[in-house]
Amino acid sequence: MGLFSFLKSKFSKKEQKEKEETKSYEKGLEKSRKAFASKLESLSKRYASVNEEYFEELEQILIESDVGVELSLRLIEKLLDQAKQEKITEPKAINELLVDAMFVDYATAGDSIQNEIAFREDGPTVLLVCGVNGVGKTTSIAKLAYRYLKQGKSVALAAGDTFRAGAVEQLSVWAERLGVPIITGKENADPASVAYDGAKYANEHHIDLLIVDTAGRLQTKNNLMQELGKLTRVLSKEIPDAPHETFLIIDATTGQNGVLQAKAFKEVAPLTGIVITKMDGTSKGGIILSIRDELGVPVRFIGLGEKMEDLREFDLDQYLYGLLLGEEVHD
């Protein structure tokens, strides 16, 4: 059974009603699905059998969905070879093979896939959060804090984005709403000093998770490297091997610009995961595949709405189902 058929059987009508996660993915990826799946369906209806033009149009659909040029070309080449070898001419069969190829490419593109933070047993776990201004970094930090509070973990925040006007205040509002401590510094304070104070507080108060915000302004790579390097040094002085996780926040609606941002951060920071925000606001859901392919870093969490619960653990099956198949359960 191919992945396409497996996903259709796995997320049946009965299961869909029972699984909140499935509903979230289906709803959050609605714009992308309408743009992507509808184009695939339209394409398959216009061709009785596949030919060179079919594959060219399919390639264009992938590129327009932000799957990325290199990955799109590679996927099409793979489909062409398989179609020739197995003498497959039916368009829908090719589309099913496409789902399989997407799954395999993501699963084998880089670091092993892990979503939840692995907590240290002998002290605080430190999560460093990066991202340019406007991508939803502050809200994502709040949603991550909420997620782990719900799991019974103690959480503290360190407001290291000291240069953007209002950044500390915004994070402080979220800290108050969530009922978690926040460590701040004076305006334009050295972010590293705030991070150090946060690490010291986390140690002294036996905090499970310290989330450290970082400056979101666009900088030269050299300045960014120096700043993140300094943060890492001061954190590790107080907490061994900190930061244990470094997440980059990317706005899905920025498309390939988000991929370029990710590449820049990957060059200067040991990224352990990507958090995609505003996935429900884009019609180009292929960005997840593009990021994974070009960076080898897994998407750990995905924002499917504005509610605190809408920051979901990334699930490849759910993603492909929501992107390609979700609307079929209503037929």
Domain residue limits, the chain: 17-111+325-330, 125-315
pLDDT given at position 330:
39
145-162 tens-digit pLDDT: 999 999 999 999 999 998
pLDDT given at position 77:
96
In the structure encoding, which two tokens stand for residue 113, read together? 């896939």
* CATH class (in words) of the domain with range 17-111+325-330: mainly alpha
C-alpha 41/C-alpha 39 separation (Å) is 5
C-alpha 151/C-alpha 173 separation (Å) is 22
Average pLDDT score over residue span 285-302: 91
C-alpha 61/C-alpha 55 separation (Å) is 10
Phi and psi at 188, nearest 5°, equal 65, 20
> Which stretch of 4-13, 104-113, 200-209, 255-264 has the lowest confidence by average pLDDT?
4-13
pLDDT given at position 331:
38
Phi and psi at 106, nearest 5°, equal -65, -45
pLDDT given at position 164:
83
CA atoms within 13 A on the CB side of 8: 15
Query: How high does pLDDT run on average in the chain?
Result: 88
Q: Which CATH superfamily is domain 125-315 in?
A: P-loop containing nucleotide triphosphate hydrolases (3.40.50.300)
Q: Which stretches of the chain are DSSP H helices?
A: 3-10, 13-18, 20-28, 30-46, 52-64, 69-86, 91-107, 137-150, 167-178, 191-204, 221-238, 256-268, 287-295, 316-320
Please list, in sequence order, all residues whose beta carbon lies within 8 angstroms of the beta carbon of residue 202, skipping any fewer than 6 positions away: 124, 126, 156, 210, 239
Q: Is the pLDDT of residue 172 over 90?
A: yes
- What is the sign, positive or negative, of the torsion defined by CA atoms of 10, 296, 66, 145? positive
Phi and psi at 157, nearest 5°, equal -115, 145
C-alpha 199/C-alpha 196 separation (Å) is 5
How does DSSP classify residue 214? Answer: -
Q: Is 64 exposed, middle or buried (0-12, 13-18, 19+ CB in 10 A)?
A: middle
Longest dimension (CA), the chain: 69
Q: Percentage of the chain with pLDDT > 90?
A: 60
Same fold, 17-111+325-330 and 125-315: no
249-286 tens-digit pLDDT: 999 999 888 888 888 888 888 899 999 999 999 988 89
pTM, two decimal places: 0.89
